[in-house]
Structure 1
């Protein structure tokens, strides 16, 4: 199975228009524009006109004229959307330039042959019998009947039987098909139109899925997401709409409305199912526990799927969880899996949440189970119910650390999953990924983060539920017009958030917090120290062995004035909503990263690192890559020389951790699975850290010293 083959199938099924000539050069037109097209031929000629068929300069289509072999070949290639550019040369010497690609493609596809190895005979007129053979090979339709035609010999019998069975033709008379008669252009149009319709009816089951993940309270572009969803549904009304978790945490919209704003729009947009992300459990340690999550679930006008999360020990969720696969799930309840009927076919959907959640969120009494075991059980349950089209809606991470779980491993270990709609790692898969590590192929998708895109996926299945093709893309919502109804719904929320931005966080800065662009990108600043100290403090609550924190200077966008600190100021300093990641690096890799950090010094660079938990010196007069002179790591109250062979846990933002600002050393660690992504958003961590300080008066502490400048 190849993506190319699927794209052809998908385009055929959706009647994509083709702009190309199939007959004599002239302007393409609808059948109503041809003066000689009767009612009998109108639909078929309109179909061919949409495919690029053209009439004659006198305004006729020529329905009663015979058709040349070359023109019939070109039009079949167009209708089937064959690859006319890359097909190998046919060897025929007599094909006109306008038809070379089409004839090459038809020969490669074993649809049409020449008179001999070097002659196609393009200008001879094709017979009805020859057209029957071409259509049989081209459309590969099912069905056969006994035919009464006396002029049909064994060469044509199967092809004509197929055409009659699919109501493509009934012959010239009750006893004559007209095998040797020349095919008329009008009859050829009817044959192609009806064969195409039969092919679409007999084609594999097409399932369309729209998906989102890791939106993290970012509803500022929800009206544009609505436009994207409406567009997909206008093409396919039965398309599913799924969310792979982490609706909670990350913006003031969430802080203020605790998911209820997001929920209003998810209900309005008609989501079919959602699984839980780790951040859905962030409020578990609050005075109200998981009340906000329970309220979110209860208010949902769609079900939740979660096969490896057990809520039963927390009474907040009493009555909400069902340990079953339901074909009739209730809105606002949790199921191991659900069954959706799409175009008469049953599709199984189950959910999984990363087992890392108890270590990176506040889960309380909620328990998490082995994702491979539970996924295997779910596939068995669906298959025992005769359901062979299965979607795993996951919050595991595409290629997250295998210390816990990830989607690639799920695809490898559990056969029977056809599609994995993922989240957690904020991975932007611009196109679906086909994974063939297991016995059966699995298609994986993920949109990135923060509602920036709506994911779309088309997959096809044969009658046995075997995946036969796939195609998909991300629709960038910022490029779209806002749906006016949804925009009006959003206004009250936005107005309230804008007011909150001017409010104090309840803390004052005793000094100016230096976020000047030229400073944070060239040297240590007190704001850089404050941000990294807060990052390290948060990381230690997740992994107590974390000893270092790093912040790229390009991620600090403004200073904070002395005096009252507002949330708006914090958002101005950190406008990107970067999330926390914890890497495991060797001392040698840390030194390599520090070399990259100062490689452009004294020129300002967004890659310049502000640091916590270590001090280092460098010499900007030396060649790049040879500048770092000393590195000392915090060990209790002492600073000790870094050990190049030892391993250290290092906190940073996931932009940097995944290779942003050309940190190849971090990218390699990420690709090796040495990154954990608890995902706390930078501005929230910073605000929380500031609120916990008695006095906000950071200083420059010689954490970063340029020996050349010091001289």
Structure 2
């Protein structure tokens, strides 16, 4: 399917929205009509394939398949780039054990061309990040992060764009020459990082729009008319900066390779706000996909065609084998050098419980449980360190997969409770929206429902005998962290959630609307690690949570 370049704005918006849900097997394509004035005849079209990853978060169990997929694309395409849009750090035990250097060995092995910084690259300060940068066999780019005063990274940092980037160094932007053509690449990192991670006072996050404009101008001065923004802003993130705004505000960007919001763009989204189209791509999360986009440029560097898809790295054949086999070299490195320590680490005891922690189906999907209380209390505590105004936390019962018997709590058991690796989200909700969400939560009661919300900082009553949508009877909130007061439907509250539910998972349309309106911040922080750290904060790392009457079905009274 080819999209003509001359279309009205409203029609284009509909096409862009459709592109988000297009099947990866049959991605939408963008094509401009032939223009003899700009193409100047045959032989002027330049083709480039960008392979891209983002938010891999130390998910290395399928890295050998990722490498094989990259090699297959390179074998099929003449001109290629391999880029990462940040958040290699944090998320699995591979990071806890190897601090990003395991991921980096595989990135070096397959030959990434450039990477930008995600917010989680700063989770352990710049000393850990500096070790990663120093060992990288590729340059890193971020036009709006200034490391000139940071003791660990200032020697690697160059506040400039360059035609001659050196591996293990940081630049505002770089130029890569691919088959004789100059490709400009610059990076952007969300300014939220200073609030949601630990970069330190000496790392400065500058205004992303202004820095992007300057980076484009600098790259164009050096002869690049095909420009890629490697962005860790989020596709439509509500934190104050995102790719949709970038595309509209900054002229001259041909492609935005995105990250941060974990958005699954199965086909490119095209923004036509300026004189030339901007192609936006993002490849979801956790190394589930290798993103690819095939581009055609005319002589002036304008994108005339864009056709992209996500390659499913975990897809299986009917016999259970993977469609994409392992790269043998990468598989051997993973199995012998890195995986044994991870298997051993899963047996680590992170704490103890004096009581059974009740989860699973149906308990966590039908009523309040002590494990649901413990998990949401931990989410609320973590969210408060990021936004002190947070007063509520929600966790869908379907994300609490099992019960933990009294005794030692191992990491393996925590990962069994929370196998999805859902990240933290912070939402701004009105009282009326909270009530609507709670009505959705109890719509199937007393039958089990995966969207049944466990809560912290809030208590409510409902009557499962009443019609759906009219069941919630009372709602109270601990606004001061201690005392419950009645929920005000007109007041705005800050609430922690997991990103699955915050985006509307389990049928929470009200949350989806809030997300789409930009009222959700995505600091990240994976659920199992937040829980483990919370348990570890108790005296002797021992917990004894109870059911407190946070959720009461009046029909059972």
- TM-score > 0.5, shorter chain as reference: yes
Deviation at 1:635, TM superposition (A): 2.3
Provide, for residues 370-411 of structure 1, a one-character-per-residue CA deviation record: whole Å limited to 9, x for no partner.
Answer: 00000000111111222110000000000011x520000000
Measure the CA separation in 1 of the matches of 2:208 and 2:284.
22
Which residue matches 1:608?
Answer: 452
Which residue matches 2:99?
Answer: 258
Which residue matches 1:114?
Answer: none
Measure the CA separation in 1 of the matches of 2:140 and 2:382.
30
Does 2:416 align with 1:572?
yes
Decide whether the 8 Å contact of 1:208 with 1:240 is kept in 2: yes
Find the residue that maps to 1:622 and give its secondary structure: coil
Does 2:292 align with 1:441?
no
Which residue matches 1:533?
Answer: 377
Instruction: Tell which structure's C-alpha radius of gyration is larger.
Output: 1
Does 2:460 align with 1:460?
no
Does 2:344 align with 1:499?
yes
Between structures 1 and 2, the one with greater helix share: 1
Aligned match for 1:368, one of 201, 205, 216: 205
Deviation at 1:343, TM superposition (A): 1.5
Measure the CA separation in 2 of the matches of 1:259 and 1:670.
30
Decide whether the 8 Å contact of 2:462 with 2:472 is kept in 1: yes
Provide, for residues 96-151 of structure 1, a one-character-per-residue CA deviation record: whole Å limited to 9, x for no partner.
Answer: xxxxxxxxxxxxx9xxxxxxxxxxxxxxxxxxxxxxxxxxxxxx9978xxxxxxxx
Measure the CA separation in 1 of the matches of 2:365 and 2:439.
14
Deviation at 1:5, TM superposition (A): 6.5
Does 2:81 align with 1:245?
no
Which residue matches 1:119?
Answer: none
What pairs with 1:44-193 in structure 2 (closer than 5 Å)?
A: none
Deviation at 1:564, TM superposition (A): 1.1
Measure the CA separation in 1 of the matches of 2:171 and 2:401.
44
Aligned match for 2:431, one of 584, 587, 598: 587
* Structure 1, gaps ≥5 residues long: 7-108, 110-139, 144-198, 285-289
Does 2:58 align with 1:213?
no
Measure the CA separation in 1 of the matches of 2:474 and 2:520.
26
Q: CA RMSD in A?
A: 1.8
Does 2:553 align with 1:554?
no
Bigger relative CO (Cα 8 Å, ≥ 6 apart): 2
Number of positions where the alignment pairs a residue of Structure 1 with one of Structure 2: 516
Measure the CA separation in 2 of the matches of 1:635 and 1:457.
48
Which residue matches 1:236?
Answer: 77
Measure the CA separation in 2 of the matches of 1:526 and 1:141.
67
Which residue matches 2:333?
Answer: 489
Deviation at 1:237, TM superposition (A): 4.6
Measure the CA separation in 2 of the matches of 1:622 and 1:331.
65
Which residue matches 2:195?
Answer: 359
Decide whether the 8 Å contact of 1:502 with 1:566 is kept in 2: yes
In structure 2, relative to structure 1, the CA distance for the partners of 1:237 and 1:141 (3 Å cut) is: closer
Which residue matches 2:65?
Answer: 224
Deviation at 1:556, TM superposition (A): 0.7
In structure 2, relative to structure 1, the CA distance for the partners of 1:644 and 1:142 (3 Å cut) is: closer
Aligned match for 1:628, one of 472, 475, 482: 472
Find the residue that maps to 2:286 and give its secondary structure: coil
Measure the CA separation in 2 of the matches of 1:508 and 1:404.
40
What pairs with 1:182-331 in structure 2 (closer than 5 Å)?
A: 202-284=43-125, 290-331=126-167
What pairs with 1:18-37 in structure 2 (closer than 5 Å)?
A: none
Decide whether the 8 Å contact of 2:51 with 2:80 is kept in 1: yes
Which of structure 1's runs of 4+ aligned residues deviate more than 2 A?
2-6, 140-143, 437-440
Decide whether the 8 Å contact of 1:551 with 1:611 is kept in 2: yes
Which residue matches 2:248?
Answer: 412
Find the residue that maps to 2:152 and give its secondary structure: helix
Measure the CA separation in 2 of the matches of 1:672 and 1:439.
27
Deviation at 1:525, TM superposition (A): 0.2
Measure the CA separation in 2 of the matches of 1:619 and 1:494.
50
Measure the CA separation in 2 of the matches of 1:234 and 1:318.
38
* TM-score, structure 1 normalization: 0.71
Decide whether the 8 Å contact of 2:462 with 2:474 is kept in 1: yes
Decide whether the 8 Å contact of 1:659 with 1:665 is kept in 2: yes
